[in-house]
Amino acid sequence: MLLVLNALIMFLLLVVLFQMQKKHVSFSKRVFAGLGLGVLLGIFLQVAYGSESNLVADTTEWYSLIGSGYIRLLMMIVIPLVMVSIIKAITNLEKTSQLGKMSGWIIGILVGTAMIAAVIGVGTSLAFDLNADQIEAGQSEQERGMYLEERLGDVENMSTPERILQFIPTNPFQDMTGDRATSTIAVVIFSAFIGVAVLGLRRRKPEQAEMFTKIIDSVYGVVMRIVTLILRLTPYGILGLMANTVAKTDVAGIVELSKFVLASYVALLIMFGIHLLFISFGGLNPLTYVKKVIPVLGFAFTSRSSAGTIPLNIQTQKNNLGVPDGVADMSASFGATIGQNGCAGIYPAMLAVMIAPTVGVNPLDPTFLIMLILIVGISSFGVAGVGGGATFAALIVLSAMDLPVFLAGLLISIEPLIDMGRTALNVNGAMTSGTLTSRVLGNFNKERFNDPSANQIDMSDV
């Protein structure tokens, strides 16, 4: 009976969001309405039944049809979107040299900001005097630590060049299924080869190139229509995701580790501020930037999926920020797996500084700090080779620094809460790299950026 009641409450909230859509309330407002309603519903479930109750587990399983179902729809369209977008963008280039310059700037900004994020992580850990010895290990933390030690073998047996080699596709059709951790980048590389081949074919057999380009344009139109249909569901998906996250949050664990949670979010906010400084140095108004990207960051925060945010990321860069197609497609795709400022920058650096004193290493030693920042930069480029986001980034960095990975399992109870902020920062890093790259290349549409009506992700009229 109570399960039916909980389902009815969710249904009524979905009706509220639907009515807002019928009244043409802006997309941004509906996204944050879904976020707020999800938080309230999650708090209700927590207070009424407790996060560990069987009823909450059953309820959130049904709510997952909305939240996780939406994520699955986004993941469904990621590979087709990336593939046709990259091919279309490259075929619109005049010279292949433009492709190398574009990808070089994007990757350079992503990896560079990841190293800056590591410095921020180190500074925040020292400022808050974080130490792994201060955290008590319960059964779940010990199990998590043992799991990390088991997975460490996968990481230690693969060198950085081997991880980078994982980017190169051997079977592009396998990568189109998303079978590997590096599937997205592999599809980008395969699509880039197709685009470059079309440019070469255009000089030799223009008729064939023109026919292929028309086919790609048609497929692109269909894919973008699918993206629009899926993005309409964003407020509903966020409602389901947020309700589940809040309902299952371990409040006691958060209170116990509140110092680390606070330090983590301080570091994330500082790095976000640095992104805005870069935007400002690029001659753009950071407040205008924030207004245009806030719905994407809200979804990234709720979904905890950089890959799932790719469609919304691309749309926002192109339609709201004035970033050209090719740069938007590549920065969103690369940013989902390379140079993630939150997962591969701040998080492993904070863990390293926390764990170092437990084995007699001085975290203030300049040699230790320089090595840590360099390893973060290298691993942020190759972390996609082993998959798993922040966990595997931490495994790579800690193992390279000869630090015990077992202690990283102490933070399992607050992992979801921190991961929300990390994902939002990762996605913002990708959009920042796209915006700055297009400014450097001189193909940024500043008029669109400054136009308050340039917000085609607002689908209240659809």
Spans of all domains in the chain: 2-450
State residue 267's pLDDT score: 96
Q: Which residues contact 19 (CB under 8 A, 6 or more apart)?
A: none
User: 7-34 pLDDT, tens per residue?
Assistant: 899 999 999 999 998 888 888 788 889 9
Q: Which residues contact 333 (CB under 8 A, 6 or more apart)?
A: 82, 86, 184, 185, 187, 188, 310
Average pLDDT in the 379-389 region?
56
Which of the four pLDDT bands, split at 50, 70 and 90, describes residue 211?
very high
SS (H, E, C) 325-380: HHHHHHHHHHHCCCCCHHHHHHHHHHHHHHHHHHHCCCCCCHHHHHHHHHHHHHHH
Which of the four pLDDT bands, split at 50, 70 and 90, describes residue 330?
confident
Say if CB 227 and CB 312 are below 8 A apart: no
For the chain, give the number of residues.
462
State residue 141's pLDDT score: 47
State residue 434's pLDDT score: 95
Distance of CA 234 to the CA centre of its chain: 16
Which of the four pLDDT bands, split at 50, 70 and 90, describes residue 461?
very low
DSSP state of 411: G
Average pLDDT in the 110-127 region?
94
State residue 10's pLDDT score: 92
Q: Tell me if the pTM is above 0.85.
A: no
Determine whether domain 2-450 maps to CATH 3.30.43.10.
no
Say which range, 6-20, 283-297, 335-349, 386-400, has the weakest mean pLDDT. Answer: 386-400
Instruction: Count the helices and strands in the chain (H runs, E runs).
Output: 20, 0
Say which range, 375-384, 404-413, 442-451, has the weakest mean pLDDT. Answer: 404-413
User: 267-300 pLDDT, tens per residue?
Assistant: 999 999 999 999 999 999 999 999 999 989 988 8
* CA end-to-end span of the chain: 37
Which of the four pLDDT bands, split at 50, 70 and 90, describes residue 95?
low
Interior CA angle at 99 toward 219 and 335, to 5°?
A: 75
> Which of 182-186, 299-303, 425-429 has maximum average pLDDT?
425-429
State residue 181's pLDDT score: 66
> Per-residue pLDDT for 339 more than 60?
yes
Which of the four pLDDT bands, split at 50, 70 and 90, describes residue 462?
very low
User: 187-203 pLDDT, tens per residue?
Assistant: 888 988 998 898 888 88
State residue 90's pLDDT score: 82
Mean pLDDT of all residues in the chain?
A: 83
> Per-residue pLDDT for 163 more than 70?
no
User: 46-94 pLDDT, tens per residue?
Assistant: 888 887 788 888 898 999 999 889 888 888 888 888 888 888 878 877 6
Which of the four pLDDT bands, split at 50, 70 and 90, describes residue 407?
low
Greater confidence (185 vs 137) lies with 185
> Per-residue pLDDT for 178 more than 80?
no
State whether the Cα torsion 385-389-390-391 is positive or negative: negative
Say if CB 77 and CB 213 are below 8 A apart: no
State residue 169's pLDDT score: 84
If DSSP codes are grouped into helix, strand and coil, which group holds residue 45? Answer: helix
Distance CA 83, CA 88 (A): 9
Taking CB atoms within 8 Å and a gap of at least 24, the contacts of 256-262 are: 256/135, 256/136, 256/413, 257/135, 257/411, 257/413, 257/414, 259/128, 259/130, 259/134, 260/128, 260/130, 260/135, 260/350, 260/411, 260/414, 260/418, 261/414, 261/417, 261/418, 262/128
Q: How many CA atoms lie within 13 A of 251 on its CB side?
A: 10
Average pLDDT in the 163-170 region?
77
Helix (H) or strand (E) holding 145, with range, is helix 139-156
> Per-residue pLDDT for 458 more than 70?
no
The runs of H, that is alpha helices, within 166-205 are 172-175, 183-204
> Per-residue pLDDT for 318 more than 80?
yes
Burial of residue 273 (number of CB atoms within 10 Å: 0-12, 13-18, 19+): exposed
